């Protein structure tokens, strides 16, 4: 009988006969018991909404009407032939790349910094969460002030430096950069804390050894820490990909309270997939069926991209 | 290694306590004879004192208000209408959303069944029509306020451009038509060496289209943007203004837009009654610089709301009686005095309190007269289910021209192709 | 590096180097703090002025004198009393449940062998991949069926577990939990649950604290779902109660930012009071193996 702990040779120890059954039961059943709460609660409150939207996506289904006509895959066909969907997909990928890569690298470096013995370390560590505490309204106001065309701080600096003003909203690239900055601002600290927690489990001795080999701080980070916390890095990459592809609040705030907040600018230059979903689901006659099809198509896209990223970060070997 | 761990204990106790507390807080409500009416609004409508007054006069009624932010309120309402549960007895609907709801009158109590038909004359005719079901067989909402339109302008900038500054003279400049307004814009841009004449083109286009006899829909709910000459004419005139550099290209409600009122980056802005409050609170330093003239064509409305009764509400009679009272002229007057929301009942427009009203911030402009004239002159125009989205789509086309992303022709073609998917 | 004393000396020197970060590190962190905290500070600035502060160019940097007045106005309009309690109940329940169940499931996925464990973990992660915006409608229908609308249960229930937490804990324990500790406990005859409770949980503490803080923040700031499912003002959470400040056509931002600032204060107070312990929790997890 194999022991249930990973990576170990079979345990030669046999428990007393009286407890043996219980022992085997414990060994084989308990893992299921431990993951059961998640699946039970998810089945209770998460599964129905998913199944329901999947069903709705096969219908011409407006939220306000009682007539729900079955249309099969028509919503999906319409979706895949709608240029605006592909436009939203490209925008989303571009913002994802611009926001996630620098953000995770910065988080890694910040977490590394925070492992040092610092004066005021509690302050610095808790301070990482300040962007998650700030209210959405304040954030929206401040970032539109920063990226404002006529009176924005960034343009003021650019002009003072002799560069021209940028109409951040109007351009595709410039709007993506602005949104990526908002995203990175909000989530860098969050990821920093996640890395920081993982770094605590790296035994000091490993660093000592690396140092004796003459590794500097930065090379310690990339040669020792990164391989050691690989599972957590995999986690952040996958979760950032998943949430990044569903990015919604930032482009909406960036577009303002008017129609631009939904279409992502007059040319749809920064409309993301979720904004596209929202445009159809909660505007435009509340096309719940079509929006559900968007949601499930997004699911497929996210699976593919998350998988690609997973294969990519899997190449970080645990210590070379 | 296996010693007690305070962290674990705290967690266990915390879980138990929190779950127990959550359970305790969920005790069910008790039933009694009183009728509870809930009112769902976006923002404060200034109804507070009126609830008190009504509850005092009607002891069996208890009124409770729920307020959410503008967009959230309407999404929330739509969710509750779609699921058939959770809506308030009385819900406010802004005019930008009303035609989506009149297209599905079954979701609401038909107020004609409760006697609203007898009161039709209480409201401006177009206000009444906005709440009528598409087939005309049902009235879903009673009007609260309207946004009679005027044209706010900067006296100092007009003077610098060599234009008249007195409001009657300014009104006379474009009294006839929007063409005259654009003419003045050409003069202004020329005289100032390229300063902006107005804030953004979208609102100008809207105001123009709404003055036309037929808008973006015909009565059979077909979108007629490509075939209605009035729409294309409005578009062309707006494009002319944009190409002449008159538009400041500001997105409404952004900090940039806010700042522009104080900075005076543009000379005119279309000004419904509630906008004047906005300018006043956001640009207190600009007092006396702004003034108010009439809007080109003399008529227009922007904003305003209705109170509707979702069909899922269980007390339609009591709810109807209450909103019938709440939207009566006497109450609208009190709301106006409290919040400045402009009444939708023409009876009040005869009232001295209105005709004599002036705005100190705007050089004592006779706003009462300007706004009432403008609201009364609006001709009812049929509005289709996706009215707001159609106008936004055209607005986006104008935005693409402003941003330099497309030529006017390309932008128009894209508007037409976008509308095909509606 | 043959002589022991020289190696020890060098090690001591290196430790010193490691523990004392340079000025650049402090400069970086101070800059990060500045950018992270600025919106909060700016809320205070606008909250202490009137609405026109937003329209000023350049924007104001110093607080004004209207704070007390604005706070008074907020307390007049927003029913904060119940709301704070409700938010505390919701956030604590959700946090406790998420941390406990995530650690439990994470332990199973990371350290126990069972059939289909990989597929099940993939299923967990996949549940995160469907956009949630449309879920509110069927979820609301479900709550109607369960007669849970307008109760705090409706807010708490969907948050009791989340895939994020399970995945996070799994990945963390994969890297942090030495297998031989579990082995040793098993040798001692400990049941799996006893191992979880006494061996795994202490090791999981840094991640559990981080997950707890993040979950608490998310639950505290959650707005749209509570708004839809709660209708009686005495059931409102803080974020829903705040919405009663929205203007109709015109929003008074100084008031809104005062209110959001007030809603943030309890969070900041918790951080200030418990921050040291939380950080200690994060730092103590290091396995001294």
Nearest chain B residue to C90 by CA: give it. B22
**Are B389 and A258 a contacting pair at CB < 8 A?**
no
B287 touches chain A (CB under 8 A): no
Mean pLDDT of B152-159: 96
Q: Is the peptide bond before C58 cis (omega within 30 degrees of 0)?
A: yes
A55 touches chain C (CB under 8 A): no
Q: Tell me, what's the pLDDT at B98?
A: 93
pLDDT band at C20; cut points 50, 70, 90: low
pLDDT of B203 higher than 80: yes
**Are B255 and A145 a contacting pair at CB < 8 A?**
yes
Helices vs. strands in chain B: H and E counts, helices first: 18, 9
pLDDT band at A317; cut points 50, 70, 90: low
Nearest chain C residue to A57 by CA: give it. C134
Sign of CA dihedral B280, B281, B283, B285: positive
Tell me the nearest-neighbour CA distance from B293 into chain C, angstroms: 22
Cβ-based interface (< 8 Å): residues of A facing B: 63-66, 82, 141, 144-145, 148-152, 167, 169-170, 255-260, 263, 265-267, 269, 282-286, 288
Which residues of chain A neighbour C138 with C-beta distances below 8 Å? Answer: 48-49, 52-53
Q: How many CA atoms lie within 13 A of C158 on its CB side?
A: 24
Q: Which fold has domain A82-313?
A: MetI-like fold (1.10.3720)
**Are A277 and C131 a contacting pair at CB < 8 A?**
yes
Backbone angles phi, psi at A85, to 5 degrees: -65, -45
pLDDT of B6 higher than 70: no
Distance (Å, rounded) from C-alpha B342 to C-alpha B339? 9
Domain range B35-146+303-355, its CATH number among 3.40.50.2300, 3.40.190.10, 3.90.1150.10, 3.40.50.300:
3.40.190.10
Listed in order, strand segments (DSSP E) in B160-252 are 196-198
pLDDT band at B144; cut points 50, 70, 90: very high
- State pLDDT tens for residues C161-215: 999 999 999 999 998 888 888 999 988 988 999 999 999 988 898 899 999 999 9
- State pLDDT tens for residues B218-267: 988 899 999 999 999 999 999 999 999 999 998 887 778 888 888 889 99
For residue A86, what are the contacts with CB-CB under 8 A and spacing of at least 6? none
Tell me the nearest-neighbour CA distance from C236 into chain A, angstroms: 18
Q: Tell me, what's the pLDDT at C257?
A: 86
B407 touches chain A (CB under 8 A): no
Nearest chain C residue to B17 by CA: give it. C93
Q: Tell me, what's the pLDDT at B20?
A: 46
Average pLDDT along chain A: 87
Test mutation, C84, C103, C249, C277, chain B, max B CBs within 10 A: C249
Which residues of chain C neighbour A206 with C-beta distances below 8 Å? Answer: none
Could you say which residues from 225 to 244 on chain A have a Cβ atom under 8 Å away from some Cβ of chain C? 228-232, 234-235, 238-239, 242-243
Q: How many CA atoms lie within 13 A of B405 on its CB side?
A: 19
Listed in order, strand segments (DSSP E) in B160-254 are 196-198
Own/partner pairs, B70-76, CB within 8 angstroms, 24+ separation: B70/A257, B70/B42, B70/B43, B70/B94, B70/C246, B70/C248, B71/A257, B72/B42, B72/C224, B72/C227, B72/C243, B73/B40, B73/B41, B73/B42, B74/B42, B75/A282, B76/B40, B76/C227, B76/C228
Q: Which chains touch C (3 or more CB pairs under 8 A)?
A: A, B
- Bigger pLDDT: B277 vs B318: B318
Stated pTM of the model: 0.88
3-state helix, strand and coil shares in percent for chain B, rounded to the nearest 5: 50, 15, 30
Q: Is C288 exposed, middle or buried (0-12, 13-18, 19+ CB in 10 A)?
A: exposed
Partners of residue B168 on adjacent β-strands: none
Distance (Å, rounded) from C-alpha C40 to C-alpha C168? 29
Residue C162 near residue A223, CB atoms below 8 Å: no
pLDDT of B68 higher than 60: yes
Element (H, E) at B9: helix B6-24
Q: Are strands A68-70 and B342-343 parallel, antiparallel or unpaired?
A: unpaired
Test mutation, C51, C55, C147, C156, chain B, max B CBs within 10 A: C55
Domain covering C78-245 assigned CATH 1.10.1060.10 in the classification: no
Average pLDDT along chain B: 89
A92 touches chain C (CB under 8 A): no
Domain spans in chain B, listed from the N-terminal domain onward: 35-146+303-355, 147-301+360-420
**Are C214 and A190 a contacting pair at CB < 8 A?**
yes
Of A64, A82, A284, the CB nearest to B81: A64
Mean pLDDT of A274-302: 91
Mean pLDDT of A65-76: 92
Q: Tell me, what's the pLDDT at B22?
A: 44
> What percent of chain A is modeled with pLDDT above 70?
93
**Are C101 and A131 a contacting pair at CB < 8 A?**
no
Q: Tell me, what's the pLDDT at C279?
A: 80
Distance (Å, rounded) from C-alpha A234 to C-alpha C251? 43
Nearest chain B residue to C101 by CA: give it. B15
Listed in order, strand segments (DSSP E) in B31-105 are 35-42, 61-68, 90-94
pLDDT band at B352; cut points 50, 70, 90: confident
Residue B79 near residue A281, CB atoms below 8 Å: no
Of B259, B399, B402, the CB nearest to A151: B259
- State pLDDT tens for residues B370-417: 899 999 999 888 888 888 899 999 999 999 999 999 999 999 999 999
**Are C171 and A121 a contacting pair at CB < 8 A?**
no
Q: Tell me, what's the pLDDT at C175?
A: 86
Q: Tell me, what's the pLDDT at A4?
A: 44
Q: Pick from C230, C87, C225, C93: which is nearest to C151 by CA? A: C230
> What percent of chain A is modeled with pLDDT above 90?
53
Element (H, E) at C144: helix C136-145
Q: Tell me, what's the pLDDT at B224?
A: 96
Of A64, A150, A284, the CB nearest to B82: A64
Residue B118's CB is within 10 A of a number of other CB atoms, namely: 8
C133 touches chain B (CB under 8 A): no
Residue range B147-301+360-420, CATH number: 3.40.190.10
B104 touches chain A (CB under 8 A): yes
pLDDT of A111 higher than 80: yes
Q: Among A297-306, B153-162, B226-235, B296-305, where is mean pLDDT lowest? A: B296-305
Domain spans in chain A, listed from the N-terminal domain onward: 82-313
Helix axes C23-47, C67-77, angle to 10 degrees: 70
A125 touches chain C (CB under 8 A): yes
SS3 A91: helix
Task: For chains A and B, count residue pairs whose Cβ atoms are closer than 8 Å.
Answer: 94
Tell me the nearest-neighbour CA distance from B331 into chain C, angstroms: 18
Tell me the nearest-neighbour CA distance from A260 into chain B, angstroms: 8
**Are C141 and B72 a contacting pair at CB < 8 A?**
no
Nearest chain C residue to A27 by CA: give it. C192
- State pLDDT tens for residues C166-177: 999 999 999 888
Tell me the nearest-neighbour CA distance from B261 into chain A, angstroms: 12
For residue B331, what are the contacts with CB-CB under 8 A and spacing of at least 6? B50, B325
Q: Tell me, what's the pLDDT at A69?
A: 94
């Amino acid at each position: 009988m194999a022991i249930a702990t990973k990576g170990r040779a079979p345990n030669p120890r046999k428990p007393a006969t009286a407890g043996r059954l219980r022992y085997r039961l414990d060994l084989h059943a308990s893992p299921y018991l431990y993951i059961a709460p998640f699946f039970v609660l998810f089945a209770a409150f998460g599964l129905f909404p998913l199944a329901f939207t999947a069903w709705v996506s096969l219908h011409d289904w407006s939220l306000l009407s009682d007539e729900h006509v079955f249309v099969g895959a028509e919503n999906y066909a319409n979706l895949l032939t709608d240029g605006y969907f592909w436009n939203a997909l490209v925008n989303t990928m571009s913002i994802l790349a611009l926001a996630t890569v620098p953000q995770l690298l910065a988080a890694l470096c910040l977490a590394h910094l925070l492992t040092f013995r610092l004066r005021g370390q509690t302050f610095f560590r808790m301070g990482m969460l300040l962007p998650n505490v700030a209210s959405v309204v304040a954030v929206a106001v401040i970032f539109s002030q920063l990226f404002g065309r006529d009176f924005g701080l960034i343009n003021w600096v650019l002009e003072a430096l002799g560069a021209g003003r940028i109409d951040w909203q109007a351009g595709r690239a410039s709007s993506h950069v602005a949104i990526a900055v908002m995203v990175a601002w909000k989530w860098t600290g969050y990821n920093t804390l996640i890395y920081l927690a993982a770094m605590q489990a790296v035994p000091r001795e490993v660093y000592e050894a690396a140092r004796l080999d003459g590794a500097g701080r930065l090379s310690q980070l990339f040669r020792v820490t990164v391989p050691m916390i690989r599972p957590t890095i995999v986690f952040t990459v996958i979760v950032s990909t998943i949430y990044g592809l569903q990015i919604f609040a930032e482009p909406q705030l960036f577009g303002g309270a008017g129609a631009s907040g939904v279409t992502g600018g007059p040319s749809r230059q920064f409309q993301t997939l979720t904004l596209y979903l929202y445009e159809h689901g909660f505007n435009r006659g509340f096309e719940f069926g079509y929006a559900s099809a968007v949601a499930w198509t997004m699911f497929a896209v996210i699976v593919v991209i998350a998988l690609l990223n997973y294969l990519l970060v899997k190449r970080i070997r645990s210590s070379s | 290694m296996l010693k007690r761990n305070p962290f674990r204990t705290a967690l266990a106790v915390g879980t138990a306590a929190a779950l127990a507390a959550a359970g305790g807080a969920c005790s069910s409500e008790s039933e009694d004879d009183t009728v509870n009416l809930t009112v769902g609004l976006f923002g404060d409508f200034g109804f507070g004192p009126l609830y008190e007054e009504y509850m005092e006069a009607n002891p069996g009624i208890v009124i409770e208000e729920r307020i959410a932010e503008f967009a959230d309120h309407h999404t929330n309402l739509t969710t509750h209408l779609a699921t058939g549960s959770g809506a308030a007895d009385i819900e406010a609907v802004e005019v930008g959303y009303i035609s989506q709801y009149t297209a599905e009158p079954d979701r609401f109590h038909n107020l004609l069944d409760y006697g609203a038909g007898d009161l039709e004359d209480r409201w401006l005719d177009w206000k009444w029509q906005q709440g009528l079901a598409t087939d005309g067989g049902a009235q879903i909402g009673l009007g609260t306020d309207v946004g009679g339109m005027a044209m706010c302008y900067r006296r100092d900038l007009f003077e610098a451009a060599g234009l008249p500054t007195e409001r009657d003279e300014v009104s006379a400049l474009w009294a006839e038509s929007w063409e005259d307004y654009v003419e003045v814009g050409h003069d202004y841009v020329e005289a100032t060496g390229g300063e902006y004449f107005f804030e953004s083109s979208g609102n100008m286009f809207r105001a123009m289209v709404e003055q036309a006899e037929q808008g973006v829909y015909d009565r059979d709910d077909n979108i007629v943007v490509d075939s209605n000459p009035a729409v294309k004419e409005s578009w062309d005139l707006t494009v002319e203004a944009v190409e002449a550099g008159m538009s400041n290209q500001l997105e409404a409600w952004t900090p940039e837009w806010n700042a522009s009122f104080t900075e005076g980056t543009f000379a005119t802005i279309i000004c419904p009654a509630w906008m004047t409050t906005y300018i006043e609170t956001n640009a207190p330093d600009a007092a006396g610089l702004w003034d108010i003239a009439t809007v080109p064509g003399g008529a227009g409305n922007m904003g305003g709301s209705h109170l509707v009764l979702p069909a899922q509400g269980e007390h339609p009679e009591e709810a109807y009686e209450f909103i019938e009272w709440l939207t009566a002229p006497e109450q609208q007057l009190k709301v106006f005095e409290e919040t400045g929301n402009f009444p939708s009942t023409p009876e009040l427009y005869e009232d001295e309190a209105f005709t004599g009203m002036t705005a100190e911030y705007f050089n004592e402009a006779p706003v009462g007269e300007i706004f009432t004239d403008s609201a009364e002159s609006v001709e009812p125009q049929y509005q289709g289910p996706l009215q707001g989205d159609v106008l936004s789509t055209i607005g986006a086309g104008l935005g693409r021209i402003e941003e330099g992303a497309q030529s006017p022709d390309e932008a128009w073609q894209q508007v037409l192709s976008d509308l095909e998917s509606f | 590096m043959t002589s022991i004393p020289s190696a020890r000396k060098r090690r001591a020197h290196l430790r010193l180097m490691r523990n004392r970060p340079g000025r650049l590190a402090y400069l970086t962190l101070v800059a990060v703090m500045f950018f992270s905290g600025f919106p909060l500070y700016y809320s205070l600035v606008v909250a202490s002025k009137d609405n026109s502060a937003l329209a000023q160019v350049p924007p104001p940097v110093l607080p004004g004198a209207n704070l007390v007045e604005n706070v008074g106005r907020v307390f007049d309009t927003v029913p904060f009393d119940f709301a704070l309690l409700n938010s505390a109940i919701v956030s604590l329940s959700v946090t406790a449940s998420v941390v406990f169940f995530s650690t439990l499931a994470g332990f199973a996925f990371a350290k126990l062998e069972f059939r289909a464990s990989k597929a099940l973990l993939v299923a967990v992660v996949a549940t995160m991949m469907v956009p949630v915006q449309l879920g509110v409608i069927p979820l609301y229908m479900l709550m109607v069926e369960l007669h849970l609308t307008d109760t705090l249960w409706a807010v708490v229930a969907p948050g009791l577990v989340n895939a994020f937490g399970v995945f996070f804990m799994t990945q963390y324990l994969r890297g942090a939990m030495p297998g031989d500790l579990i082995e040793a406990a098993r040798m001692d005859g400990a049941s799996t649950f006893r191992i979880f409770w006494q061996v795994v949980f202490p090791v999981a503490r840094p991640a559990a604290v981080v997950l707890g803080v993040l979950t608490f923040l998310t639950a505290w700031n959650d707005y749209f779902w509570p708004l839809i499912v709660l209708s009686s003002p005495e059931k409102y959470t803080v974020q829903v109660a705040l919405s009663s400040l929205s203007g109709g056509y015109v929003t008074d931002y100084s008031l809104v930012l005062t209110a959001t600032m007030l809603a943030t204060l309890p969070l900041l107070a918790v951080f200030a009071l418990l921050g040291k312990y939380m950080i200690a929790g994060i730092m103590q997890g290091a396995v001294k193996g």
